[in-house]
Structure 1
């Protein structure tokens, strides 16, 4: 899956090398999510979901979050691979409510049981998300919630004109 990008001096991952259907893998790097000056998630036990054309989505075990700051929003979506997603607003004292900032699969479809009890975050709906100290960028379009780091190369699904990919 790793490729070398000329001049970068480090391995990269092309989202076009990711599988379909998606794959879940452990990621021991230090993952932090902050909002309103508070670390709402901090783990070295993240799971990454890798799917063709998408930057990875990082899932954090709920035990490594400040889950008391999450309020179920009432929003849901359907993923053909993972099932029904439940959305969560973040209510951090002193910060504006961040609507649908996170999501989880409370009863995922077979093959994705490992993400049960984990929460994923939209980088664009929190103050910041980091992987080993690197601030991530959000996937274009703000629908899929992928995290773009320096080792991830696209093009990425989600931006204008990419819905038919």
Structure 2
């Protein structure tokens, strides 16, 4: 079933934020609310759009944006056939396929149904791999995907690396 795409909200671009170095992010990761417009698009449809995201900031990683389930078009999400991972901080992650008509993006999103207590703010929120979507944007700025196929950080002009995820960075 195809649904009409949602119109992109017209918003004035906020003043640029000062650059952040991922090497200044904490370990264990910090959770921060973010009220900028976050948008995820796939196969001509808006899969998620919110001004109520939560950013997770972890040393050496670009931020990951988690979107509340009320702001995700969950009709496009199906539980992935395989896969759970364990994060030493957040707990067990569940993976989701993004399916729009015949277009299937395997394991393109994940969530924490029962995160560890310090990360309860992430409960049932969804994160998306920008590399597996057609477009992810923060405050109108297109995101660059973090290198590699495991992490899923969102690189914007406000974030400085080097970033973990590419070849040779596994043990950083």
Provide the TM-score with structure 2 as the length reference.
0.88
Counterpart of 1:76 in structure 2 is 84
- 2:62 is equivalent to residue 65 of structure 1: no
Matches within 5 A, 1:22-101: 22-73=29-80, 74-93=82-101, 95-101=102-108
Equivalent residue pairs, number: 156
Per-residue CA shift, 1:43-98, capped at 9, x if unaligned? 000000000000000000011010011000031111000011000001112x5200
- Aligned runs of 1:100-115 on 2, under 5 Å? 100-115=107-122
Q: Distance in 1 between matches of 2:171 and 2:83?
A: 24
Partner residue of 2:169 out of 153, 162, 165? 162
Runs (4+) of structure 1 exceeding 3 A deviation are none
Give distance in 2, aligned partners of 1:19 and 1:140: 20
> What pairs with 1:119-138 in structure 2 (closer than 5 Å)?
119-138=126-145
Structure 2 unaligned regions, length at least 5: 1-15
Q: Following TM superposition, by how much is the alpha carbon of 1:10 offset from its aligned partner in structure 2, in angstroms?
A: 6.0
Instruction: Look up the match of 1:6.
Output: none
How high is the TM-score relative to the length of structure 1? 0.92
Over the residues paired in the alignment, what is the CA RMSD in angstroms? 1.1
